[in-house]
């Protein structure tokens, strides 16, 4: 099978793989996000006419979402607080990055490979080589596969590193294992661990209408939820997820989800949350809280945990950002990794050392944050793919393999 598939066969080929690691990597997600005509699935192996593994790749166009573009993911304004050289970061952002290719799901923040249940030996390395070859043919200066997690994407990460990619810690995501018998037990334990969290405020006003709706179509008071979510997103990001994606999630026909909302009895929802569903995991994704001081934490935590317990979910994946608030409410952290290829030697020479410095700083920063909030627990470990790598490269002066430099 050809490494790069024609756009006309994208849907058929993708659906040849009957499952994907997360809801954000499904054909329905890309379709609703408006990326079906932009993405090219690079594939490897053959399983009776379907690929053994594939990874969707697309070219970033400016203005881009902060967490899509390699320029900002690696060296954006939000990374400056951990940089040893802020001016250097600003200079790197202003550099000519040319064409940048990424494998991340748009607005979904997952970038790993999608594979059949059983794969032939070496298929991830074959896929990594196919991806690098595709990037070269497209004349890309940068290729980034990011929002990868060792427990989910370990073989893909190792394959990318083996063919010359530079592994980095780019951030951390918060996950909450569901181990309580009731939401009362959850809130009681939170209060015991952090006295500043008032149980009544975390639970929310019992006089309001709190709704959790998991059937197709909007639930009571949720008819305007997509617009409510879109309005909130646009306040923070002009390159935010499109209304089409939010409407598809609210409708729920192609993507299983739960809609949480709160409002006055008999009135439209004033605050809402959409959580995607897969297996035994909930993925709270988009939230809009008109009364943030009253609605946000009860909606995002207590109501989600209550629903998860009632329905038998074992994990809530809260994603990145707001780490302290999530740690305070029982979450642990896991590192979000990326593997980058710089095909321009001049960009490689200045960007690779800066990216590694930031990666090391993020490891220490997130480990310290986790220890501060959960002193009795083990902080997230240094990712195995990074252990010893920096010391080896610093002692040899290596900037990774010829696959990255194109020499």
3 state DSSP class of 177? strand
Band (342; pLDDT cuts 50, 70, 90): very high
Domain that holds residue 279: 179-313
* Residue 407 forms part of a structural domain: no
What mean pLDDT is predicted for residues 234-249? Answer: 91
- Domain final position from 313, 343, 370: 313
CATH code at position 26: 3.40.630
Claim to verify: residue 23 and residue 133 sit in the same structural domain: yes
CA distance 15 to 10: 8
Same domain, 218 and 299: yes
CB 132 within 8 A of CB 143: yes
CA distance 38 to 196: 47
Look at residues 281, 313, 345 and tell me which one is the last residue of a structural domain: 313
pLDDT average, residue stretch 239-250: 95
pLDDT digits (tens, 9 = 90+) for 75-89: 999 999 999 888 999
Identify whether 261 is part of a domain. Answer: yes
**CATH code of 299's domain:** 3.40.630.30
**DSSP letters for 73-136:** HHH-GGGGGG-S-HHHHHHHHHS---SEEE-PPTTT-----EE-SS--TTHHHHHHHHHHHHHH
Q: Does 387 score more than 90 pLDDT?
A: no
Q: Are residues 98 and 44 in the same domain?
A: yes
Residue 405 resides in a domain: no
Residue 302 placed within a domain: yes
Tell which of 280, 313, 346 closes a domain.
313
pLDDT at 394 over 50: no
Give tens-digit pLDDT for 60-113: 988 899 999 999 999 999 999 999 888 999 999 999 999 999 999 999 999 999
Is position 327 within any domain? no
pTM: 0.91
């Amino acid at each position: 099978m050809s490494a790069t598939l024609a756009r006309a066969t994208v849907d058929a080929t993708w659906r040849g793989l009957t499952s994907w690691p997360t809801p954000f990597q499904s054909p329905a997600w890309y379709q609703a996000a408006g990326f079906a005509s932009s993405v090219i699935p690079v594939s490897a192996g053959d399983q009776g006419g379907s690929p053994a593994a594939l990874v969707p790749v697309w070219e970033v166009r400016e203005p881009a979402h902060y967490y899509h573009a390699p320029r900002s993911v690696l060296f954006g304004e939000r990374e400056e607080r951990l940089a040893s050289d802020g001016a250097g970061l600003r200079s790197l952002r202003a550099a000519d990055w040319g064409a940048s290719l990424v494998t991340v799901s748009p607005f979904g923040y997952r970038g790993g490979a999608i594979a059949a249940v059983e794969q032939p030996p070496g298929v991830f390395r074959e896929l990594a080589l196919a991806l690098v070859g595709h990037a070269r043919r497209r004349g890309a200066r940068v290729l980034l596969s990011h929002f990868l997690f060792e427990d989910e994407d370990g073989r893909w990460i190792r394959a990318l590193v083996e063919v010359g990619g530079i592994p980095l810690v780019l951030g951390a995501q918060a996950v909450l294992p569901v181990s309580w018998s009731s939401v009362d037990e959850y809130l009681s334990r939170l209060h015991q661990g952090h006295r500043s969290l008032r149980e009544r405020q975390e639970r929310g006003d019992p006089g309001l209408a709190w709704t959790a709706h998991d059937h197709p179509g909007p639930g009571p008071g949720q008819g305007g939820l997509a617009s409510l979510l879109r309005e909130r997103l646009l306040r923070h990001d002009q390159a935010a997820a499109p209304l089409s994606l939010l409407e598809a999630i609210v409708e729920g026909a192609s993507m299983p989800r739960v809609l949480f909302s709160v409002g006055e009895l008999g009135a439209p929802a004033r605050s809402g949350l959409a959580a995607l569903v897969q297996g035994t995991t909930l993925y709270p994704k988009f939230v809009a809280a008109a009364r943030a001081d009253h609605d946000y934490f009860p909606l995002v935590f207590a109501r989600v945990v209550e629903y998860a317990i009632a329905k038998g979910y074992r994990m809530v994946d809260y994603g990145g950002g707001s780490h302290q608030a999530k740690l305070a409410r029982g979450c642990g952290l896991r590192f979000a990794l990326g593997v980058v290829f710089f095909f321009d030697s001049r960009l490689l020479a200045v960007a690779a050392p800066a990216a590694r410095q930031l990666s090391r700083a993020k490891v220490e920063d997130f480990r310290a944050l986790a220890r501060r909030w959960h002193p009795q627990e083990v902080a997230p470990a240094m990712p195995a793919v990074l252990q010893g790598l920096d010391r080896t490269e610093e002692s040899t002066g290596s900037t990774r393999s010829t696959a990255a430099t194109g020499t």
